[in-house]
């Protein structure tokens, strides 16, 4: 906890410049038993939320609000192998994560952020948007993507849960948006940020070999000849996509290690979660795990007391008379005025 606060203090040194209010703090809370099974049936009287070790008067809503979900996918030079894995995952986002009453939007980002699919309850356009993603550019403007996603979520009705799922590396490359401002907006909107990360060095070695037919736009691919004399699929092999590579690139990536781990920062302070994947099966398992968690959480809310801008407030939740249960919630929030 102290380390997290220290990282934020360095990353958010300009926080006191912001003049905004957080009328309500939302703390999504996951409770499991010793075997990792979700615990349901608890009431507000069973849970105690502490803000800087001071118990708060809370309200609890459980699975009360439909979800507005933004899936933001990195499409830079490192992402080719990941985009191949995402093609058939759209239905998981809509049916398992956004689920009943939910809506899903898709963003892509590299040098710039692009809206691929606006909010929809239908899985078909989401699946199509993900299948059509292609590599472009060489940057990874994660903060710009988060800022765009938050702007979209701010326009959704108030009685909805706001969730962002980032599928990207951990560190930003090329954003114009500032960490302080994006974090403040995520806090104001009580948006939970989940982050699926991957290794750009290892991912290319997990993709099955491709043919020239696979590289064509989906609408132009020949899956099966319509007749004996019709054009046949081009089965000639193409070289594997190993990303940008090169020693210059490797040195640049090492230099980026001093930048904040955005996946850890946003997940910890918004009540989300970060998970890594390598193979397609692990990606699908991670999406399913996040969906199960989101729909098993207790949603605690409280009115924060007045505090000095920039002061970090640590949060924790305990279950009365049940010390054997494991409880996880957002690690804290920053006081603003």
Same domain, 204 and 84: yes
Up-side HSE of residue 209: CA atoms within 13 Å toward CB?
A: 6
Do residue 106 and residue 155 come from a single domain?
yes
List CB contacts of 37: < 8 A, sequence separation 6 or more. Answer: none
Residue 18 pLDDT > 70, yes or no?
Answer: no
Q: Are residues 134 and 255 in the same domain?
A: yes
Angle, helices 262-270 vs 2-11, to 10°: value is 110
Give the tens place of pLDDT for each residue, 116-146: 999 999 999 999 999 999 888 888 999 999 9
Residue 5 maps to a domain: no
138 and 197 fall within a common domain: yes
Total of domains in the chain: 2
The domain in which residue 40 lies consists of: 16-62+298-337
pLDDT over 90 at 19, yes or no: no
What is the DSSP track for 18-51? -----S-EEEEEEEE-TTS-B-----GGGEEEEE
What is the residue-averaged pLDDT of the chain? 81
Tell me the pLDDT band of 80, cut-offs 50, 70 and 90: confident
What span, in angstroms and rounded, lies between the C-alpha atoms of 41 and 34? 17
Same domain, 195 and 207: yes
Residue 157 and residue 286 in one domain: yes
Residues 327, 233, single domain; the answer is: no
Q: C-alpha distances in angstroms, 244 versus 159, 170, 247, 276? A: 44, 18, 10, 21
Residue 7 lies in a domain: no
pTM above 0.85, yes or no: no
- The region of weakest confidence among 80-94, 175-189, 280-294 is 80-94
| 124 part of a folded domain | yes
Whether 168 and 302 share a structural domain: no
**Do 226 and 119 share a structural domain?**
yes
Q: Is pLDDT of 227 > 50?
A: yes
Residue 47: inside a domain, yes or no? Answer: yes
Specify if 10 maps to a domain.
no
- In this structure, the answer to whether residues 33 and 134 fall within a common structural domain is no
Residues in Cβ contact with 245 at an 8 Å cutoff, skipping those fewer than 6 apart: none
One domain for residues 52 and 76: no
Q: To the nearest 10°, the Cα dihedral for 212, 217, 218, 224?
A: -40
Q: Does some domain include residue 149?
A: yes
105 falls within a domain: yes
| Residue 279 is assigned to a structural domain of this protein | yes
For residue 7, name the pLDDT band (cuts at 50, 70, 90).
Answer: very low
Band the pLDDT of 332: cuts 50, 70, 90.
confident
| Beta strands in 151-241, from DSSP E residues, in sequence order | 161-167, 192-197
Q: Same domain, yes or no, for 247 and 332?
A: no
Predicted confidence band at 243 (pLDDT cuts at 50, 70, 90)?
Answer: low
What pLDDT, on a 0 to 100 scale, did the predictor assign at position 168? 94
Assign residue 115 the CATH number of its domain.
3.40.50.410
- Give the integer Cα–Cα distance in Å for 143 and 52: 28
Counted residue by residue, the chain has a size of 337
């Amino acid at each position: 906890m102290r380390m997290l606060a220290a990282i934020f203090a360095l990353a958010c040194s300009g926080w006191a410049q912001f003049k905004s209010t957080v009328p309500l703090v939302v703390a999504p809370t996951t409770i499991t038993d010793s075997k990792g099974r979700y615990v349901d049936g608890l009431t507000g009287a069973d849970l105690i939320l502490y803000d800087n070790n001071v118990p708060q008067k809370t309200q609890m809503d459980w699975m009360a609000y439909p979800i507005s979900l933004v899936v933001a996918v990195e499409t830079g030079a490192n992402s080719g192998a990941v985009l191949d894995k995402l093609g058939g995952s759209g239905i998981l986002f809509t049916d398992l994560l956004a689920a009943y009453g939910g809506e899903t939007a898709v963003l892509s980002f590299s040098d710039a952020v692009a809206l691929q699919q606006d909010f929809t309850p239908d899985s078909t356009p989401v699946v199509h948007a993900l299948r059509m993603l292609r590599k472009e550019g060489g940057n990874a403007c994660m903060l710009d993507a988060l800022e765009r996603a938050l702007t979209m979520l701010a326009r959704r009705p108030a009685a909805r849960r706001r969730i962002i799922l980032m599928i990207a590396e951990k560190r930003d490359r090329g954003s114009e948006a500032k960490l302080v401002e994006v974090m403040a907006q995520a806090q104001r909107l009580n948006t939970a940020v989940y982050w699926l990360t991957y290794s750009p060095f290892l991912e290319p070695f997990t993709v099955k070999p491709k043919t020239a037919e696979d590289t064509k736009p989906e609408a132009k691919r020949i899956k099966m000849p319509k007749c004996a004399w019709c054009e046949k699929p081009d089965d000639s092999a193409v070289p594997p996509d190993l990303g940008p590579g090169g020693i210059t690139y490797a040195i640049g990536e090492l230099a980026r290690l001093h930048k904040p781990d955005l996946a850890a920062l946003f997940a910890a302070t918004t009540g989300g979660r970060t998970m890594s994947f390598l193979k397609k099966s692990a990606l699908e398992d991670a999406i399913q795990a996040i969906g199960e968690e989101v729909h098993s959480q207790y949603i605690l809310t409280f009115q924060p007391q007045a505090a000095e801008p920039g002061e970090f407030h640590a949060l924790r939740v305990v279950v009365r008379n049940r010390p054997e249960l494991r409880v996880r919630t957002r690690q804290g929030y920053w006081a603003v005025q």
